[in-house]
Amino acid sequence: MQQVVALESSVLVLNKFFMALHVISARRALALLCKDTAEVISVDEGRFSAYDFESWKDVSICKARLGLPEDDSAGWIRTVSFNMEVPKIIRLLFYDKLPRSNVKFNRRNIFARDENKCQYCGHRFPTSELSLDHIVPKAYDGKTTWTNIVCACTECNKKKGGRTPGQAGMKLTRKPFKPKHSPILSLKLRSDKYRSWKQFLDEAYWSVPLK
Ligand SMILES: [Zn+2]
């Protein structure tokens, strides 16, 4: 179980110029490391070091010899022959495209913007129990945009039916907005675990050319 958690944990991906691109699972990150198309970036007290797959493995083995921190067991992958620390940041060695300056309009980002909370009752639900609701229904010419789509739980969705919130006597907990930065990254940044991402994100936001 712990192993699965470790493989699904989040890894920040940087381009060749250390600019944040997106977030992937540790499983995918390890696949890229094995192919030598990426390296691990490890941040320690504001300074960072780079490791290829083999040297990261060696560092992990040394660290593991000193004893794995018990509170961070999900941050380790255990194989038959060695333990490896799950990287938190990787850098794509040959990828030189710039980060997108626009946040992609997709389900994943909408769920992250709304923090998996139903925007009518305000309760948090697992993704499988939420659906996307057109505030102004399509039948009334409601558009599929950041400002007209919100997360809604099954119950609120049913209650609202094909009506506007006004018609259904329901209120939104907040006004939906178009996020400036990736809402997935914003959510992760609140957790202490991903503190090391921050300096790369700041860098990315400053370096993206304005259009
Ligand atoms: Zn609800």
Q: For 63, which DSSP code?
A: H
| One CATH from 3.40.50.720, 1.10.30.50, 1.10.3860.10, 2.60.120.920 for 107-168 | 1.10.30.50
Report the pLDDT value the prediction gives residue 67, as an integer from 0 to 100: 73
Tell how far the Cα of 120 is from the centroid of ligand 1, in angstroms. Answer: 5
Distance 166 CA to ligand 1 centre (A): 16
**C-alpha 116 – ligand 1 centre gap (Å):** 11
So where are the chain's domains?
2-97+183-207, 107-168
60: which 2 tokens? 């992990």
d(CA 201, CA 211): 19
Interval between CA 193 and ligand 1 midpoint (Å): 30
pLDDT by 10s per residue, the chain, length 211 = 567 778 888 899 999 999 888 889 999 999 999 999 999 999 887 788 999 999 999 998 888 888 766 556 568 888 777 788 999 999 999 999 887 778 889 998 999 999 999 999 999 999 999 999 999 999 999 999 999 999 999 999 999 999 999 999 999 999 999 988 788 888 888 888 888 888 887 655 555 554 4
Burial of 11 (0-12, 13-18, 19+ CB in 10 A): buried
pTM above 0.75, yes or no: no
Q: Cα(154) to centroid of ligand 1, in Å?
A: 7
pLDDT at 207: 53
**Dist. CA 128 → ligand 1 center (Å):** 13
CA of 122 to the centre of ligand 1 (A): 6
CA 161 to chain centre: 31
